[in-house]
């Protein structure tokens, strides 16, 4: 039940109607409505995995309650072990099995199993781990009501692809819940339409270019750069569009999710890029992996090692293949290089720094998008040693890209999206109408293009 379907629209409308009909004085009924809707949303993909979600919820709930009373490491290890074991089996078993088969001289599929990846397992696993670790560290009180904790794990706006919400943020809204203000409701509705427009009018159109390029791999330098850049725009508008919808829907129910994207293609370094791209994952990796590894508290070499390990594991988190490992290693090497050269902390917004950063990020997207390392190698060869070729975008796709870039450069400087909900009604209505017009004119409706991050 993707966000950009009528079926999901009906679920959202029905949930909101029941939620507010329950009244502000009935918090338990409201939370039960949200939890029921979340489980219906999850079950619409594959109801067979509901017991898995319930089991992980029960394990982490019990572990946190125990850790608050007796801070014993075994309870933490049991919780982490359960989450990582499920994640390792469903997401990484076949990858590990193919490596083992190759080492033993067997066919790559010799030990493979027919495994279906549970919905959102990478995201709710990280969310659970952060909660239990924070309780163990004494930074978070254990939740006493199991249904409240179940809602934290399964809340449908961000269950599939985040943002990864910390417990203090979620329960800070849930427990002392208040009715959203008019401005919050207006901003939530606008973000939902904005995200839908990003997805269907921008991401899905660039998906046509990138999918065609990586399926056929036509020769040509311009063709290769155009295909890679198309995927870079696809994944940005796709994922940030999903996040806008998730944050917007959360606002409609009185929750305030953290920002997950901050115009990342205007970054002036790779370090700056990771402060702007998938912020909830970047901060999670920093707090629960990079800093525990030692962060930058040791020698320079130790810092470079910690950066590389963090990004390698971050790449592997995205998918079980060598291309994701290479993608993580590529960004780890760039981050370490910037640290060594003292470049990462620069705050200059000069286009002279943003342009090369965008090109470096685009090269990385080749590894992210290519089905295997050999394909990525062929694309790199064309990008740097191919004939001229032809630009794969048509005129209106180029126009959409330029219009999107202008809008987000303006947003970077003025923050017009943030201020729009406070604007006069005519201005808000005009902006909303403009988005709907773009969606009507350019939205891809003949095919259902899945969200990129739904596969993770």
The backbone region for 217, taken as left when phi is positive above 0, alpha when psi lies in -120 to 50, beta otherwise, is left
Residue spans of beta strands (DSSP E) within 163-241: none
In 3D, which of 252, 249, 190 has the Cα closest to residue 432?
A: 190
User: Among this protein's residues, is 124 annotated catalytic?
Assistant: no
Helix then strand count (H, E) for the chain reads 21, 0
Distance (Å, whole) CA 401 – CA 406:
9
Residue 61 neighbours by CB under 8 Å, 6+ apart: 143, 146, 149, 150
From the CB of residue 142, how many other CB atoms can be counted at a distance below 10 Å? 20
Structure tokens belonging to residue 437: 């017009």
CB count in 10 Å sphere of residue 405:
14
Count Cβ atoms within 10 A of the Cβ of residue 287 and give its class: 0-12 exposed, 13-18 middle, 19 or more buried: middle
Task: Give the phi and the psi of residue 354 in degrees, each rounded to 5.
Answer: -70, -40
**Distance from C-alpha of 364 to C-alpha of 380, rounded to nearest angstrom:** 10
Cα distances from 350 to residues 128, 232, 407, in angstroms, run 40, 21, 17
CB 197 within 8 A of CB 440: no
Looking up tokens 């995200």 gives 195
**Beta-carbon contacts of residue 316 (< 8 Å; ≥ 6 apart):** 92, 324, 325, 328
d(CA 395, CA 407): 18
**Residue 300: alpha-carbon gap to chain centroid:** 30
Considering 4, 124, 318, 331, which one is annotated as catalytic?
318
What 8-state DSSP symbol labels residue 322?
H
Report the distance separating Cα 29 and Cα 7, nearest Å.
Answer: 24
d(CA 407, CA 410): 5
For the four alpha carbons of 258, 54, 290 and 330, in that order, the dihedral sign comes to negative
CA 321 – CA 325 distance, rounded (Å): 7
Tokens describing residue 452: 């990129």
The answer to whether the beta carbons of residues 432 and 190 sit under 8 Å apart is: yes
Which positions are catalytic?
318
């Amino acid at each position: 039940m993707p966000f950009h379907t009528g079926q999901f629209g009906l679920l959202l409308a029905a949930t909101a109607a029941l939620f507010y009909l329950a009244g502000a004085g009935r918090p338990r009924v409201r939370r039960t409505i949200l939890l029921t809707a979340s489980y219906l949303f999850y079950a619409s993909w594959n109801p067979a995995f509901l017991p898995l979600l319930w089991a992980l919820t029960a394990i982490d709930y019990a572990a946190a309650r125990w850790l608050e009373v007796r801070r014993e490491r075994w309870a933490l290890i049991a919780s982490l072990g359960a989450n990582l074991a499920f994640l390792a089996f469903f997401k990484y078993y076949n990858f590990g099995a193919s490596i083992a088969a190759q080492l033993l001289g067997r066919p790559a599929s010799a030990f493979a199993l027919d495994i279906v990846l549970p919905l959102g397992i990478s995201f709710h696993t990280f969310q659970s781990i952060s909660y239990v670790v924070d309780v163990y560290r004494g930074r978070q009180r254990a939740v006493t009501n199991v249904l409240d904790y179940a809602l934290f794990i399964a809340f449908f706006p961000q269950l599939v692809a985040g943002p990864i919400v910390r417990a203090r943020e979620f329960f800070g809204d849930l427990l002392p819940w208040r009715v959203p203000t008019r401005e919050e409701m207006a901003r939530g509705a606008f973000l939902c339409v904005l995200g839908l427009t990003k997805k269907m009018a921008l991401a899905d159109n660039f998906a046509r270019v990138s999918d065609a390029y990586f399926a056929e791999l036509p020769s040509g330098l311009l063709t290769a750069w155009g295909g890679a850049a198309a995927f870079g725009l696809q994944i940005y508008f796709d994922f940030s569009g999903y996040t806008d919808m998730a944050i917007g829907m959360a606002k409609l129910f009185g929750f305030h999710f953290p920002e997950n994207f901050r115009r990342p293609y205007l970054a002036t370094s790779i370090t700056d890029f990771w402060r702007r791209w998938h912020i909830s994952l970047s901060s999670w990796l920093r707090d629960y992996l990079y800093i525990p590894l030692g962060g930058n508290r040791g020698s320079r070499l130790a810092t470079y090692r910690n950066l590389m390990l963090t990004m390698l594991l971050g790449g592997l988190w995205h998918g079980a293949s060598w291309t994701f490992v290479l993608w993580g290693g590529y960004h780890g090497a760039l981050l370490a290089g910037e640290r060594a050269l003292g470049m990462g902390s620069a705050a200059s917004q000069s286009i002279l720094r943003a342009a090369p950063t965008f090109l470096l990020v685009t090269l990385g997207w080749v590894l992210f998008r290519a089905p295997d390392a050999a394909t990525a190698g062929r694309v790199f060869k064309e990008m740097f040693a191919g004939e001229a070729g032809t630009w794969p975008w048509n005129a209106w796709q180029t126009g959409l890209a330029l219009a999107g870039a202008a809008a987000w450069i303006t947003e970077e400087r003025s923050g017009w999206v943030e201020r729009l909900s406070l604007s006069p009604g005519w201005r808000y209505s005009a902006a909303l109408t403009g988005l709907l017009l773009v969606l009507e004119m350019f939205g891809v409706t003949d095919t259902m293009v899945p969200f990129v991050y739904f596969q993770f």
